[in-house]
Amino acid sequence: MPNLTYKEAIKDALAEELRRDSAVFIMGEDIGLHGGAFGLTKGLFAEFGPDRIKDTPISESIIAGAALGSALAGMRPVVEMMFGDFSALAYDQIVNAAAKARFQFGGQCKTPLVIRMPVGALSWKSAGVVHCQSVDNWYVQIPGLKVVLPATPYDAKGLLKSAIRDDNPVIFLEHKALYEVAGDVPDEDYVVPLGVADIKRSGDTCTVVACGKMVHFALEAAVTLADEGIDLEVIDLRTLKPLDEETVFNSVRKTHRAVVVHEGHRSGGLAADWGMRIYTECLDWLDGPVGWVAAKDVPIPYNDGLEKRVLPQVADIVAAVRKTHGEA
Amino acid sequence: MVDLSGDLLLRMYYTMWLIRDFENKAAELFMKGILAKGGVHSSVGQEAVATGVGLALRQDDWISSTHRGHGHQLAKGADPRRLMAELLAKDAGYCRGRGGSMHVAAFEVGSLGAYAVVGEGVPIAVGAALAEAMKGSDRVSAPFLGDGALGQGVVHESFNLASVWQLPVVFVVERNGIAVSTSCDRMVAPSTRLADLARAYGLRYRGVDGQDVVAVHEAAREAIAAARAGQGPSLLDCKTYRFEGHYYGEPQVYRSREETEAVRRMHDPIAHFETYLSEHGAARQEEMREIRQRASETVEDAARFAQASPEPEPATYGEYVYA
């Protein structure tokens, strides 16, 4: 099985879907000859040309709006937002128009639309306050949207193919820190279904619920904690909306402990949402309080040392897990 | 001068009365508390723009509409029964009661929908034009917008993208001069200079008297033909008048009753068209009376149908969120 990076897996998914379906096209800023800010579309322009790999003006709102209109008229657009943070400029089109179109029109239309956006912090390469946010909770709140964040190359390719074949607007988040992470990716066509979590490590003394880069941090924490006799089960949610609650609940009912870990800010964040669901459905099984690891309510700083204090680190997960075991 | 057949003129006359009667019926239902919902906006006074453009488009062309959009939908061919049922939030409505007056679409006749956030539907129509251009079809797309929407960035982004990509779009500006309650002269720098704006963006421009349905129609046909022939986007600047308040029941503290009465007297697009029809011998008084009667009956029937229709079943609240 070939070993690809997360970035290569995403590019392959785009290329294969462009070849498979002539209704698929890509639009975004600097994605043509330039190949995208992170090089995700490099080479696609040469194969598919300017009609299907469309360089747009720097106008996030019309990018999202025009993509939506084209979807309503029968195309399957895939938008690249240069950074997730910039999608704030397209928020009305995504949240008020795209998310609600099928519902408000009583099922008259479909909106097969994917909006890809790089999110999250890059530590030593980070670019500060408006290039590093985890914007997933901006979108998870909105009925009508699906929200995806893969953690591995295999999932990235399979989930993106599912997203492009889905008839709903899908916010496809890509963690910048994972672009160079490599993993096995099959040659043959496959999809990873939306709405299905994946157990990235089986264990039986505590469940860690995470997504994106935090999955890798949780796996690192598991190595440290294994020496202490704590056997973590790490759940990668993969799709943040709709949420695969059953996989989470089944795991917590097995391990009797849970820690929720999310790179986004603590207030109004996704970790609190996951924790509340666990309390509501699994209280009788819990042997201790649910651990809560999230970013502090501070913008993401430019300085690396400051950033590490704001965002969750492996040590924070280790500490939260110990706490669920009654250790200080 | 395009050739306007007698039949087309009579269809225009019917459509204008259909819109006016529909709006007045909706207002009546609102006053009686039958249309007991907020956010219903009358387009009385602006019938010539919707009609002139709507009848110049093919059914498979696209429009996007605004919060003041009943006329656009009707002129595009939407079923008055299903439109009125949607206003009354009924299950037989176009959107099965989920959308309402401000969020109604009729995809079966090429309406991408009304978008209630000012300017929001404009980029969506541009996107539909993009899709048609990519598919190699000759369908065009006509977003309706008011001059109040010229303050929205996304409208300017739409002008720009349609121009740089030479998309088959006809931007129809209903320049009624009022942004909700505030004169556009104080709100939007170029509101009286749309020609300059169009030139700056490289859009073909036509300015017309929006109360003159024939003038609107001729200009629309020209712009649509250009778009269909791959000659790029146009902006149609239609000077018009909003006879009613922003929404049904809005007190209009910003203008006097005398002012409104004068506008109604001097700028009624239907009265204007009746004079035209008589002067050109296109319709006899009796024919006009019959057409007007038919429009009125259609609206009465739509209102009866809508009122008799059942509400959506509450248990179906979760439908249509996802495909």
pLDDT, residue B116, reads: 93
Residue of A59, A67, A146 lying closest to B157 (CB–CB): A59
Q: Give chain B's mean pLDDT.
A: 94
A69 vs B132: CB contact, 8 Å cut-off? Answer: no
pLDDT, residue B249, reads: 79
- Which residues in B lie closer than 8 A to residue A108 (C-beta atoms)? 94-95, 105-108
Distance from B65 to chain A by nearest Cα, in Å? 13
Chains A, B: CB pairs < 8 Å: 148
Q: Quote the domain boundaries for residue A212.
A: 198-324
Decide if pLDDT at B3 tops 70.
no
Residue A189 within a domain: no
Residues near B71 by Cβ (< 8 Å), separated by ≥ 6?
Answer: B19, B22, B23, B43, B46, B47, B49, B50, B51
Q: In angstroms, rounded to a whole number, what is the distance separating the alpha carbons of residues A289 and A274?
A: 13
Sign of CA dihedral B105, B111, B112, B115: negative
Residue A190 within a domain: no
Q: In angstroms, rounded to a whole number, what is the distance separating the alpha carbons of residues B133 and A66?
A: 13
Same domain membership, residue A37 and residue A169 = yes
What mean pLDDT comes out for the span A133-137? 95
Residue of A51, A70, A166 lying closest to B131 (CB–CB): A70
- Which residues in A lie closer than 8 A to residue B154 (C-beta atoms)? 61-62, 65, 92-93
Distance from B160 to chain A by nearest Cα, in Å? 9
Same domain membership, residue A275 and residue A150 = no
Same domain membership, residue A225 and residue A82 = no
A168 touches chain B (CB under 8 A): yes
What mean pLDDT comes out for the span A60-79? 98
Q: How many domains does chain A have?
A: 2
Domain boundary among A184, A208, A228: A184
B322 touches chain A (CB under 8 A): yes
Same domain membership, residue A256 and residue A164 = no
A51-87 residues labelled b (16+ CB within 10 A) or e (exposed): ebbbbbeebbbbbbbbbbbbbbbebbbbbbbbbbbbb
What mean pLDDT comes out for the span A29-38? 95
What mean pLDDT comes out for the span B46-54? 98
Q: A174 pairs with which residues across the strands? A: A118
Same domain membership, residue A202 and residue A141 = no
Q: Give chain A's mean pLDDT.
A: 96
pLDDT digits (tens, 9 = 90+) for B223-266: 999 999 999 999 999 999 999 888 887 888 888 889 889 999 99
Q: In angstroms, rounded to a whole number, what is the distance separating the alpha carbons of residues B245 and B41?
A: 8
Residue A160 within a domain: yes
Residue of B94, B96, B123 lying closest to A93 (CB–CB): B123
Same domain membership, residue A137 and residue A97 = yes
Domain boundary among A132, A156, A184: A184
Same domain membership, residue A131 and residue A14 = yes
Q: What percent of chain B has pLDDT over 70?
A: 98
- Which residues in B lie closer than 8 A to residue A166 (C-beta atoms)? 323
Residue A177 within a domain: yes
- Which residues in B lie closer than 8 A to residue A64 (C-beta atoms)? 123
Same domain membership, residue A66 and residue A41 = yes
Domain boundary among A123, A152, A184: A184
Residue of B97, B131, B158 lying closest to A62 (CB–CB): B158
What angle separates helix B153-164 from helix A60-72, to the nearest 10 degrees? 70
pLDDT digits (tens, 9 = 90+) for B18-31: 999 999 999 999 98
Distance from A91 to chain B by nearest Cα, in Å? 11
Same domain membership, residue A83 and residue A165 = yes
DSSP B177-193: SEETTEEHHHH-TTTT-
**B contact residues 119-158, partner A, Cβ 8 Å cutoff:** 120-132, 134-135, 141, 153-154, 157-158
Decide if pLDDT at B64 tops 70.
yes
Catalytic residues of A: 131
Q: A27 pairs with which residues across the strands? A: A54, A79
Confidence of residue B1 (pLDDT cuts 50, 70, 90): very low
Same domain membership, residue A81 and residue A36 = yes
B110 touches B76 (CB < 8 A): yes
A57 vs B153: CB contact, 8 Å cut-off? Answer: no
B107 vs A61: CB contact, 8 Å cut-off? Answer: no
Decide if pLDDT at B6 tops 90.
no
* DSSP conformational letter for B155: H
Domain ranges for chain B: 6-305
Query: Which CATH number belongs to the domain containing residue A142 in this structure?
Result: 3.40.50.970
Residues in chain A: 328
A102 vs B95: CB contact, 8 Å cut-off? Answer: no
Same domain membership, residue A202 and residue A65 = no
- Which residues in A lie closer than 8 A to residue B313 (C-beta atoms)? none
Residue A301 within a domain: yes
Same domain membership, residue A203 and residue A291 = yes
A109 vs B321: CB contact, 8 Å cut-off? Answer: no
Q: In angstroms, rounded to a whole number, what is the distance separating the alpha carbons of residues B279 and B300?
A: 30
What kind and span of H or E run contains A232? strand A232-236
Residue of A69, A77, A104 lying closest to B124 (CB–CB): A69
Residue A171 within a domain: yes
Kindly state which CATH superfamily the domain B6-305 is placed in: Thiamin diphosphate (ThDP)-binding fold, Pyr/PP domains (3.40.50.970)
